[in-house]
Structure 1
Amino acid sequence: MLTRRLIRSGCLALLIVLGMGRVWAEDSLLVEQVEELLPRHVGAAVMAVDEGKVIFKHAWGNRRFDETEPCTTSTNFRLASVSKQFTATAILLLVDQKVVELDDTIDRFFPECPDYWHNITVHHLLSHTSGLPDYENLIPEGTTLQLMDLNVLELLRATEKPLFEPGAKFAYSNSGYALLGLIVEAAADCRFQDFLRTEVFKPLGMNRSLLYVAGMNRVPERAFGHELDSEKNWIVGDQSLTSAVRGDGGVYSSLDDLELWITDLDQEHLLSDSSYTKMFTPQVRSDRGQQDYGYGWFLDTYRGERRTMHAGETRGFSLMLQRFPNRQAAVVILLNRSALDPPGDYVDQIVDCLLFDRDD
């Protein structure tokens, strides 16, 4: 049984968790400082890890603007495109199991497909170099029902040529990651959400994280998305036409579970050494400044530190996960509000506050 002691001195509350080797201090002044850096929100959750230990973890606000359930460190937010790292992990697990190869062309998994798919590989999908058009641009005008993965597949099957030759350049593609989720199902012979639950989340102890599929599972302690109306009041804005597509953005998770995820990325237990190396090796120069792309992660440097990162934006949610692997550090920011327009620089300010400009 864990022993907990709470020691208070002025504004500092030090929580010592014996038996787990974790010590972190919650400084109410730092909590206020981080909250001031956050944009206006309904609910928010922020965590920082340094040298493999949690140094900050706090949640603010509510899961839904018109209800009273507070956001906590176990509240599940929709991760949007931060989900892509889990889709990439699922594929790399299948590579480790020798069920999938990175140079497999995708006609292996989708026999009825356009001719140009014979030149697109799993590697191209993972690295956003496939040349596939974004399925969002293919949705017929007037569509009101949410798209499912098979709807995306049919939209893409109806295309006749790529935007560019596969492998020629980087072009961020939700289409590629939607297809990767379907490839997991075809190769593993099980539903994508079940594969993530049994092969990724459960082994890491992320028991409250899930790939959400309406009517098939339920999000515990769910944060709902929000947006501002014309008078700048909050309204629930939680789903869009593309919110039911899984591989590009359907995972829900919390600070508590993402702490376990970050720990595994530092300790590298789930995948083979080769797969972790491929995931975080620059596969292509992106079209976003000096950033490269690996498999499910943007790669660059920040303030002299190697950084791996991914943002997530969808209707009602905006998120960021940044890692600094050389110092086993990370910052996670989860908001149940749509992204700022124009975007702010609050992310870097919070990273600086919690990691680089911190007074120890």
Structure 2
Amino acid sequence: MRFAVLLVCCVLLASCAAAHSPNASVDSLMSRYEGDGPGASLLVVRDGVPLVRRGYGFADLENRVPATPQTDYRLASVSKQFTAAAILLLAQDGKLSLDDRARQWLPALPPAADAITIAQLLSHQGGLVDYEDVMPADTRVPLRDKDVLDLMSATDHLYFAPGTSYRYSNGGYAMLALIVEKASGKRFQDFLRERIFLPLGMIHTLAYVKEGPAVPHRAFGYSEENGHWVRTDQSMTSSVLGDGGIYASIDDMARWDAALYDDRLLSESSRAAAFTPKTRTDDPTVEYGYGWRITGDSVWHSGETIGFRNVIVRYPDRHLTVILLTNRNDPEPYRTALAIAHLYL
């Protein structure tokens, strides 16, 4: 009888601990992604060990394909850290300098852009006009990076003198992708694949172009309209690669995260350059490096596009990272990722 009582007590204590464990709290925080709607994939990793690695909801509603750790989401602006890394790799190779003028590589840029450097494009200090604001309203063929350059070339003014202010610029990162092509002699998607994805074992990650390989485990984007989920997977800017065209899974992003702690890809000086604040942003709590936002002890970046909302939050000193990729227009995942991170800090 005494043994039975002890056993019941142990079971109750274990159940109580499980109910208050970080993992149980994670599921509560992720409850909006459960069920029959579009979903999410979540990774929490510390010291290279996954603490949470799972999918919620569906990657493809029409075909009832569940979201998993292998699901590939369009990263949107989370892609910018890879574009920045490509530039830093070429600087390591001696193929370009961050102090080079952008027009040295892209002479089609307007004269007003003459003083903009590559470093200023990386940190959103170039002042380029937002290409989304100058693209024709009747655009029916999705833009590519070269089309963004054409729009820039016809817009001979800036928001401010280069290096004097900050304004987030998708067009600046499209220009960086074109500079990668000029300096490397390779298509941007091929350079990423050969120099970043394959060396790190990110075999299912790609900068997606319609005529190229298919996305292997593709999530499709959705937006909620009048209480129903509608597929909203692509827009007229979804084919621009440099600012947001990469698809990846949380499993492949774990390999990327691991590579940011050592020299296997970027040198110590290149990593320091990426993670060192270069400018304040329009949020007084956030600074910007090269492809990364910097807030206190964390470096992070979100990505939002039609039908997708994503974020990666890294705490390098704690060796803790939270990656949350979703294929829906709501909710915005940054605060959820922070709440999850705080369970493990």
Shared fold, TM over 0.5: yes
Q: What residue is the counterpart of 2:75 in the other structure?
A: 79
Q: Given the alignment of the two structures, is residue 346 of structure 1 paired with residue 302 of structure 2, yes or no? A: no
Cα RMSD after superposing both structures: 2.1
Give CA-to-partner distance per residue, 1:17-40, whole Å, 9 cap, x none. xxxxxxxxx987355324226588
- State the AA in 2 paired with 1:320: V
In structure 1, the residue matched to 2:18 is none
Amino acid of the structure 1 residue aligned with 2:50: V
Which residue pairs with 1:273 in the alignment? 268
Aligned partner of 1:65: which letter?
Answer: L
Percent identity reads: 41
Q: Which runs of 4+ in 1 moved over 4 A?
A: 37-41
1:242-294, Cα deviation, whole Å (9 max, x unpaired) = 00000000010001101101111122420111111100011111111221100
CA shift, 1:56, in A, is 1.0
Q: In the alignment, what sits opposite 1:299?
A: 294
Q: Kindly indicate whether residue 121 of structure 2 is the aligned counterpart of residue 125 of structure 1.
A: yes
Residue in 2 that maps onto 1:42: 38
Using the alignment, how far apart are the partners of 2:25 and 2:340 within structure 1?
Answer: 11
Could you tell me which runs of 5 or more consecutive residues in structure 2 were left unpaired when the two chains were aligned. 1-10, 16-20
Contact 1:39–1:346 (8 Å) recurs in 2: no
Mapped partners of 1:37, 1:237: distance in 2 = 19
Q: After superposition, where does 1:83-102 map in structure 2 within 5 Å?
A: 83-102=79-98
Question: Does structure 2 conserve the Cα–Cα contact (< 8 Å) formed by 1:43 and 1:62?
Answer: yes
C-alpha deviation, 1:69, in angstroms: 1.7
Q: Deviations over 1:20-75 (max 9, x none)?
A: xxxxxx98735532422658851211111123322111111221111122111011
- 1:243 equivalent to 2:234? Answer no
Q: Which residue of 2 aligns with 1:18?
A: none
User: AA paired with 1:352?
Assistant: H
Tell me the distance in 2 between the aligned counterparts of 1:63 and 1:280.
32
1:155 partner amino acid: L
Pick from 198, 204, 219 the counterpart of residue 202 of structure 1: 198
Match of 1:284 in 2: 279
TM-score (norm 1): 0.86
Secondary structure of the corresponding residue to residue 113 of structure 2: helix
2:302–2:334 CA contact under 8 A, matched in 1: no
1:328 is aligned to: 319
Question: Which residue does 2:7 correspond to in 1?
Answer: none
User: Which residue of structure 2 lines up, in the alignment, with residue 51 of structure 1?
Assistant: 47
Cα separation, 2, equivalents of 1:344 and 1:108: 37
Partner of 2:175: 179
1:223 equivalent among 219, 222, 226? 219
Partner of 1:5: none
- The corresponding residue for 2:24 is 29
Cα distance in 1 between the residues matched to 2:24 and 2:110: 58
CA contact (8 A) 2:23 2:52 kept: no
The whole-number CA distance in structure 2 between the counterparts of 1:31 and 1:271 is 32
Give the counterpart letter for 1:116 in structure 2: A
Between structure 1 and structure 2, the one with the greater Rg is 2
| Counterpart position of 2:137 | 141
Q: Aligned partners of 2:212, 2:139: CA distance in 1, in Å?
A: 23
Q: How many residues are treated as equivalent by the alignment? A: 328
User: Which residue is equivalent to 2:6?
Assistant: none
**Per-residue deviation, 1:340:** 3.6
Q: d(CA) in 2 for partners of 1:113 and 1:309?
A: 30
Q: 1:143 aligns to what SS in structure 2?
A: coil
* Matched letter for residue 151 of structure 1: D
Do the aligned partners of 1:48 and 1:329 also contact (CA within 8 Å) in 2? yes
Partner of 1:193: 189
| 1:253 aligned partner, one-letter code | A
- Post-superposition shift, 1:116? 2.1
Equivalent residue of 2:198, what SS?
A: helix
Question: Is 2:278 aligned against 1:260?
Answer: no
Per-residue CA shift, 1:156-203, capped at 9, x if unaligned? 001112110000011000010000000000100010000000000011
